[in-house]
Protein backbone atom coordinates (compact mmCIF):
# COMPACT_ATOMS: atom_id res chain seq x y z
CA UNK A 1 0.00 0.00 0.00
CA UNK A 2 1.44 3.37 -0.95
CA UNK A 3 1.27 6.50 1.21
CA UNK A 4 -1.79 7.87 -0.59
CA UNK A 5 -3.69 4.60 -0.04
CA UNK A 6 -2.61 4.51 3.63
CA UNK A 7 -3.87 8.07 4.17
CA UNK A 8 -7.19 7.20 2.49
CA UNK A 9 -7.55 4.12 4.70
CA UNK A 10 -6.97 6.25 7.82
CA UNK A 11 -9.67 8.69 6.68
CA UNK A 12 -12.16 5.82 6.36
CA UNK A 13 -12.01 4.68 10.00
CA UNK A 14 -15.10 6.50 11.26
CA UNK A 15 -17.75 4.01 12.32
CA UNK A 16 -15.53 0.96 11.81
CA UNK A 17 -14.84 -1.45 14.63
CA UNK A 18 -11.38 -2.62 15.67
CA UNK A 19 -11.80 -6.17 14.32
CA UNK A 20 -12.61 -4.85 10.85
CA UNK A 21 -8.96 -3.86 10.47
CA UNK A 22 -6.26 -6.27 9.39
CA UNK A 23 -3.56 -7.22 11.91
CA UNK A 24 -1.05 -5.07 10.00
CA UNK A 25 -3.40 -2.05 10.12
CA UNK A 26 -3.90 -2.60 13.86
CA UNK A 27 -0.15 -2.85 14.47
CA UNK A 28 0.52 0.28 12.44
CA UNK A 29 -2.06 2.26 14.42
CA UNK A 30 -0.81 0.90 17.75
CA UNK A 31 2.72 2.04 16.94
CA UNK A 32 1.59 5.68 17.32
CA UNK A 33 -0.84 6.12 20.20
CA UNK A 34 -1.52 8.31 23.20
CA UNK A 35 -3.57 6.82 26.02
CA UNK A 36 -5.74 9.60 27.45
CA UNK A 37 -7.91 9.83 30.55
CA UNK A 38 -11.24 10.89 29.04
CA UNK A 39 -12.21 12.76 32.22
CA UNK A 40 -9.11 14.92 32.54
CA UNK A 41 -7.54 14.87 29.08
CA UNK A 42 -4.23 13.89 30.67
CA UNK A 43 -2.01 11.02 29.61
CA UNK A 44 -2.91 7.78 31.41
CA UNK A 45 -0.15 6.38 33.60
CA UNK A 46 -2.13 3.77 35.52
CA UNK A 47 -4.13 0.63 34.85
CA UNK A 48 -7.67 1.16 33.65
CA UNK A 49 -10.01 2.40 30.97
CA UNK A 50 -8.84 5.12 28.64
CA UNK A 51 -9.29 6.74 25.28
CA UNK A 52 -6.71 5.73 22.70
CA UNK A 53 -5.80 8.61 20.39
CA UNK A 54 -4.08 7.55 17.16
CA UNK A 55 -1.33 10.04 16.33
CA UNK A 56 -1.50 11.26 12.73
CA UNK A 57 -5.22 10.54 12.40
CA UNK A 58 -8.38 12.29 13.55
CA UNK A 59 -9.60 9.15 15.32
CA UNK A 60 -9.82 7.65 18.78
CA UNK A 61 -11.16 4.43 20.26
CA UNK A 62 -12.03 3.17 23.75
CA UNK A 63 -9.32 1.06 25.31
CA UNK A 64 -7.76 -0.28 28.49
CA UNK A 65 -4.24 -0.14 29.90
CA UNK A 66 -3.19 -3.45 31.48
CA UNK A 67 -0.84 -3.80 34.46
CA UNK A 68 2.09 -4.51 32.13
CA UNK A 69 1.32 -1.33 30.14
CA UNK A 70 -0.20 -3.21 27.21
CA UNK A 71 -2.97 -1.41 25.37
CA UNK A 72 -6.06 -3.58 25.02
CA UNK A 73 -8.82 -2.70 22.58
CA UNK A 74 -12.03 -4.71 22.53
CA UNK A 75 -12.77 -6.11 19.09
CA UNK A 76 -16.16 -4.38 18.99
CA UNK A 77 -14.80 -0.94 19.97
CA UNK A 78 -15.76 1.66 17.37
CA UNK A 79 -13.53 4.38 15.95
CA UNK A 80 -14.77 7.92 16.37
CA UNK A 81 -13.60 11.46 15.80
CA UNK A 82 -13.55 13.19 19.21
CA UNK A 83 -14.17 16.55 17.56
CA UNK A 84 -17.49 15.45 16.04
| 59-82 pLDDT, tens digit each | 999 999 999 989 999 999 999 988
Mean pLDDT confidence for 20-42: 90
**Which pTM does this prediction carry?**
0.83
Q: Which residue has the higher pLDDT, 12 or 4?
A: 12
Q: Which residue has the higher pLDDT, 49 or 9?
A: 49
Q: What is the mean pLDDT of the chain?
A: 86
High-pLDDT (> 70) share of the chain, %: 87
48-54, strands of its sheet edge to edge: 33-36, 48-54, 60-65, 71-72
Amino acid sequence: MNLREENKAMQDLKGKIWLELSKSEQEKLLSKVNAIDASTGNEVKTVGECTIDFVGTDFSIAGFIAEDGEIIIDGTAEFYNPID
